Amino acid sequence: MVVFRLKKVSESTRKVQNVRQLITQIRQKVFQKGAFPAVIIYLERMVTIMKRFYTAESVTEGHPDKLCDLIADSVLDACLSHDALARVACEVMAAKGRIIVAGEITSLYEPEIPKIVRRVLSVVGYDPSQFSIQCLIHKQSPDIAAGVDCSLEQRRNGGQEDSVPQLGAGDQGVMVGYACNETPEMLPLPVVLAHRLTISLALARRYGLIHGLRPDGKAQVTVEYGEDGKPLRLDTVVVSAQHSPEKPADELFWELTDKVLAPALQALPPDEDTKILLNPSGRFVLGGPEADTGLTGRKLMVDSFGVFAPHGGGAFSGKDATKVDRSGAYMARYIAKNLVAAGLCERCQVTLAYAIGAAQPVMVEVDTFKTGTVCADDCLADAVKLVFGLTPAEIIAKLDLLSPRYTGTAAYGHFGRPEFPWERTDQAKILRAAVI
């Protein structure tokens, strides 16, 4: 029996980019020397340990959870269109034949919620006449409103302004932003590809490129990464597409491959070993709220960065910008993206934490995962505090968060699209100058 030393395997790995090529070389060597199959299995397991896989998912706007997010953000935009200072915390539940909208709204404008719900249902692809709509809305708690309108810092200052921040955070919480340099969007490649798949799926239905598609759909992408931390190959693609009962499965398979997968996966096309799973459960006729109850805020990782970064736990959709769950997360992403754009790191995670009623964050942390190029992470955190205003009022002003733009964020991720102000890299030069 022949046993190769781990050192030799490691040396070979550095010379061969594709791990599968390395496995083939090992197989050839052990067979030449008459090794037993157990040795081959052992060596393959050693090589497998060297591999890293990352997965991300996305859903279409017809998914019941995303439908709820769309309704909530549409209600928010309706309020902001008439009252930029509206306070909105809107939650939605979608079940078979029923939509329930609940929450707290304090606004000079009273939104026509049933009308908004019916419009969203129609745009997404559902028949509004098949749903009853129930509204359970009341005003924001006066205790919360008081803490937001007059920050803890101002109250400690005797209510006098004197450059003391006036707007307090609408809740406590932890917000996380992430950016990396592996895609033009400065997002992880699996996240980008998953969203491209669901967007392509939705467009194929909307424009009739694939007949028989229905609104609900999901996608999932697994990418194999090399030892250098860069995307190496596409390992697995999963697409679940709701369809009419008359749609032949084999026809749907080839149409999805041609009209959805091919355009969406151009950045990292499948190879001969890529696993393609289309409607792996079989038929997908019953979908949307008829098959699954939907709720706002239940697709947090789809909304953000997948498994690449932790999530503070607060949902985005249906909340106005005084809720730092949303505005703080947007600012954290804005900071992280500018740090990467400035060349100060290859990837970056920015964490902010707030206390309800207080203006200044209680924590500002930067983690570059040892990819920093200029200074230590604590130095970058100090630069962030110097360059960026981190109070709710400063975040709102910098990112233009009083504008009714939120319906566009509800589906296909809140990050990575250039039309969002928090995706700008206009502070990169200033950040670099602050640390060099």
361, 426: one domain: yes
In a domain? residue 70: no
The pLDDT of residue 29 is above 70: no
pLDDT (tens digit per residue) in 36-51: 555 555 555 555 556 7
Higher-confidence position of 36 and 101: 101
pTM: 0.86
Is the pLDDT at 147 greater than 80, yes or no?
Answer: no
pLDDT, mean over the chain? 89
Give the model's pLDDT for residue 26. Answer: 63
Domain that holds residue 38: 6-50
Asked, for residue 295, whether it belongs to a domain, the answer is: no
Bridge partners, 234 (sequence order)? 223
Same domain, 330 and 280: no
Q: Are residues 179 and 193 in the same domain?
A: no
Instruction: Give a yes or no: residue 223 inside a domain.
Output: yes
- Phi, psi torsion values for 257, nearest 5 degrees: -60, -45
Instruction: Indicate the residue among 50, 70, 86 that finishes a domain.
Output: 50
Q: Are residues 257 and 352 in the same domain?
A: no
pLDDT over threshold 80, residue 165: no
Domain count, the chain: 3
On whether both 328 and 274 belong to a single domain, the answer is no
pLDDT score recorded for residue 4: 30
Whether residue 55 is contained in a domain is answered as no
* Cα–Cα distance, 152 to 157 (Å, whole number): 9
What's the pLDDT tens digit per position in 297-323?
999 999 999 999 999 989 999 999 999
Q: Are residues 265 and 343 in the same domain?
A: no
Query: What residues contact 159, with CB distance under 8 A and at least 6 apart?
Result: 150
Instruction: Say yes or no to pLDDT of 144 above 80.
Output: no
**Any idea what the CATH number is for the domain that residue 254 is in?**
3.30.300.10
Distance CA 227, CA 401 (A): 40
Residue identified by tokens 């340990």 is 49
Residue 379 and residue 276 share a domain: no
Tens digits of per-residue pLDDT, 392-401? 999 999 999 9
Q: With 0-12 CB in 10 A as exposed, 13-18 as middle and 19+ as buried, what is 184?
A: exposed
Q: Considering the domain boundaries, does residue 325 fall inside one?
A: yes
User: What b/e readout covers 64-74, taking b as 16+ CB neighbours within 10 angstroms?
Assistant: bbbbbbbbbbb
pLDDT value, residue 301: 96
